[in-house]
Chains A and B, each alone.
Chain A
Amino acid sequence: MLIKSTDLIALLPFFVALVAATVVILVDVFHRTDKPRAYVAHIATAGMVLTLASVWYMHGNVEAGPAFGKLIYHDGFSTFLNALFVLAAILTIMVSPRYLREHGAERGEYYALIILATTGMMLMAAAGDLLMVFLGLEIMSIAIYVLVGFFRADGKSAEAATKYFFLGAFASAIFLYGMALIYGTTGGTSLEGIAAAVRASASSGDNVLVHMTDDVNATSTLDPLFYIGCLMLLVGMAFKVALVPFHMWTPDAYTGAPSSTVGFMATAVKAAAFAALIRLLFIGLGVEATRIDSQGWVKMLFYLSIITIIVGNLMAIVQTNVKRMLAYSSIAHAGYATIGLVAAGYTGAGAGISGYAGASSVLFYLLTYTFATLGAFGVLSYLGNRHREVTTYDDLSGLGYKYPAIGFILVVFMLSSAGIPPTAGFVGKFHVFRTAIVAGEISGDNSFIWLVAIAFMASVAGAYYYLRVVVHLYMKESNGEVPVLRSKLTGFALAISAFFTLLIGVYPTPFIEIASDAMKDFQGVEVAYGPQGETRAAGLNVLPEEDAAKVEANTIRIDPIVAPMPDQAPESHDGHGH
């Protein structure tokens, strides 16, 4: 792979964000301690706004396509998610300064870390190669670990950071091991290369990826190690998304971390993990053999989403701490979004029927979820001060009358999270559920009806704990004085979140269209429902003949590390070649 200088333009948003982070950290470090440093946050915000502008510029002026030999993609998908991450970062930065000053942790590193985490997320959403996914994942994760422990003097914050760091590092290691296994069995780390290798093995019947097996009835011709690798990749991502068996860190980390950080963690980090999952699952593992097979990931995500929704909602009911409740609610929301993934996987990413609709319903769900959850945690950081923290339901009692505006805004976020119209959450849930039902109709699989029925019942149960917040705000006696931070910037950010939550709820069409446009030029693998290898829809990205031949030539051998490349040019640094 040789780098073309035209590839560099694909890096524009990353560059802008990196420069912003660098400027922020330099400005802060040269800052004199005796002066107020609110302006650092303004510089950070300006940097993120510039990043947003560069994302917008790329959307209009740079042709979509892969760059750096398919290490990264620039397409509607990455544009949509980049915009989402940057928006979340801007809102987080706006919420933070007053809160940080109140808790004696007003340091410029906070904003630099938020921007760096955003850069990592953008890389995850753009990645077309397992290595890039991992790189983005780590850039994001390390910054977030530090942000969780940002209140250094606070024991709870340190505990949260330690727990999150250890489990997160473990999940990263599992993800990395999965990468190694997949590289070992397919000979490539590029997502399209993996797909081509799998497809080649499935259609040739040569069992190219297989250890010899005596079982003639084996449904799959793929090496079991390949499936173990896929499983490990899924586990690594499920950890970041907090799907249920991998959710244990969530309540503790969310409770201990600074509220302003938690909003960012619960929304942008999850969105980034979902973005990487969509790329991974629909490009790399999008071939039918890895998808619908008895060992395929669709079935696994199907059951994961069911447990996640049930456990998330039930555990949230018994919480007395609002932050913990929101943590479990964010787990449940990850489950709802996963339904969209399952639906998309079942109907086929490239089938052109509703596969992309499924993925775009996930994107839309993430959008609605981001505003509501970011807002809810923003309100929690706005209420209370360093002497009087607002953590339990009882602390919220009667606040709706004392602070009508903030009460109203919190109610909007709660209604949206519960999925009650006219808020964004309702439309998001509706969209995801509908996609699942359509997927069931297309595939003729009744289990989708059950999936949606379970999700529906669970979200009714979920209304209990969301509405409990409303009950406490308006129908309970106030107990004691609860101060608020009185920051115009924070208030403004919360108002924006509430405005969008209501706007998407009342007039969702343009936002749904943006989300489905985002999937239009997604370079998924074509899914063959007919004869193998047949391209179903025009305009999908198919590997050029010689690329597919290369991958095939590589994968015939069990041990690709020693596989020689017959036609490899000496200056080629292609990932498949080794």
Chain B
Amino acid sequence: MYEQYYPIALVFGFAGALVTFIVLLSTFVGPTKVNRGKYKTFECGSDPVHDVRQRFSVKFYVVAIIFILFDIETVFLYPWAVLYKEFSMAGLAAMMFVEMLLFLLVLGVGLVYVWKRGALEWD
């Protein structure tokens, strides 16, 4: 009765095996030159443990806001894509398509706006 879950188990198994393999490979094969930078938080910019009053650049917020904007685009695109078939069976395909195009157009205008205003430039 659990047959339909086999592919998921397979994916989990494969993913686990692959990660283990890559990590082991880099541990054994890769060069190990330790320095201070290597022990810091990976990639994310700010220390996880520090004084509360530490300041960091407002630019991060701009990036975060723009990210949320386009993240929401994806959130809306998924259910639309999933339901599209049902809509087209109800004879609403054209309308739903145009509606999504309009939505993307509005977002596109937003992108043009932030681009031209220079919000995407770090300096």
Mark A residues whose CB is within 8 Å of B: 2-3, 5, 8, 18, 22, 25-26, 29-30, 571
- Can you report 21 A-B residue pairs in the complex whose CB atoms are below 8 A from each other? A2-B90, A2-B92, A3-B92, A3-B95, A5-B95, A8-B95, A18-B106, A22-B106, A22-B109, A25-B109, A25-B113, A26-B109, A26-B112, A26-B113, A29-B112, A29-B113, A29-B116, A29-B117, A30-B116, A571-B86, A571-B90
Chain A residues contacting B86 (CB-CB under 8 Å) are: 571
Apart from A3-B95, A18-B106, A26-B113, list 18 A-B contacts with CB within 8 A. Answer: A2-B90, A2-B92, A3-B92, A5-B95, A8-B95, A22-B106, A22-B109, A25-B109, A25-B113, A26-B109, A26-B112, A29-B112, A29-B113, A29-B116, A29-B117, A30-B116, A571-B86, A571-B90
CB proximity of B40 to chain A, nearest CB, Å: 35
Q: Which residue of A lies closest to B86 (CB)?
A: A571
Q: How far is the CA of A22 from the CA of B106 in the complex (A)?
A: 8
Cα-based distance from A25 to B115 in the complex (angstroms): 13
Q: Please provide the 8 A-B residue pairs with the shortest distance between their CB atoms, ordered closest to farther.
A: A29-B116, A22-B109, A29-B113, A25-B113, A5-B95, A29-B117, A571-B90, A26-B109
- A158: shortest Cβ distance to chain B, in Å? 14
**How many whole Å from B51's CB to the nearest CB in chain A?**
25
> Which B residues lie at the A interface, using CB under 8 A?
86, 90, 92, 95, 106, 109, 112-113, 116-117
- Chain A residues contacting B116 (CB-CB under 8 Å) are 29-30
Q: How far is the CA of A310 from the CA of B86 in the complex (A)?
A: 58
A91 to chain B, nearest CB (A): 26
Give the docked Cα–Cα distance between A26 and B106 (Å): 11
| Whole-angstrom distance between the Cβ of B22 and the nearest chain A Cβ | 44
How far, in Å, is B69 (CB) from chain A's closest CB?
Answer: 13
Smallest distance from the beta carbon of A539 to chain B beta carbons, Å?
32
Tell me which residues across on chain B come within 8 A of A571, comparing CB atoms. Answer: 86, 90
Q: How far is the CB of B95 from chain A (nearest CB, A)?
A: 6
Q: How many angstroms between the C-alpha atoms of A18 and B92 in the bound complex?
A: 23
Q: For residue A112, which residue of chain B has the nearest CB?
A: B113
Specify which chain B residues have a CB less than 8 angstroms from the CB of A29 in the assembled complex. Answer: 112-113, 116-117
B residues within 8 A CB of A25?
109, 113
CB distance from B84 to the nearest CB of A (A): 14
Q: B100 to chain A: closest CB distance in Å?
A: 14
Chain B residues whose CB sits within 8 angstroms of the CB of A30 once the complex forms: 116
Cβ-closest chain A residue relative to B115: A29
Q: How far is the CA of A409 from the CA of B116 in the complex (A)?
A: 42
* A18, B117: Cα distance in complex, Å: 20
**A417 CB, min distance to chain B CBs, angstroms:** 39
Residue numbers in B under 8 Å from A8 (CB-CB): 95
Taking CB atoms, residues of chain B closer than 8 Å to A18 are 106
By beta carbon, the residue of chain A nearest B95 is: A5
Contact partners of A3 in chain B: CB under 8 A: 92, 95
CA distance A452 to B112 in the complex (A): 55
CA distance A25 to B111 in the complex (A): 12
Question: Can you name the residue of chain A whose Cβ is closest to the Cβ of B105?
Answer: A22
Please measure, in the bound complex, the distance between the C-alpha atom of A5 and the C-alpha atom of B116, giving whole angstroms.
Answer: 36
**Residues of chain B within 8 A of A22, CB atoms compared:** 106, 109
For B106, list chain A residues within 8 Å (CB).
18, 22
In the complex, how many angstroms separate the beta carbon of B63 from the nearest chain A beta carbon?
Answer: 19
Q: Which residues of A contact B109 (CB under 8 A)?
A: 22, 25-26
Complex Cα spacing A2 to B83, Å: 13
Q: Which residues of A contact B90 (CB under 8 A)?
A: 2, 571
Chain B: CB-nearest residue to A30:
B116
Distance of A22 Cα from B90 Cα, bound (Å) = 32
How far is A22 from B108 in the complex, measured between Cα atoms in Å?
Answer: 11
CB distance from B14 to the nearest CB of A (A): 36
Query: With A and B bound together, what is the CA distance between A25 and B112 in angstroms?
Result: 10
B107 to chain A, nearest CB (A): 11
For residue B89, which residue of chain A has the nearest CB? A571
Bound CA span A171–B90, Å: 40
* Residues from chain B with Cβ under 8 Å of A5 in the complex: 95
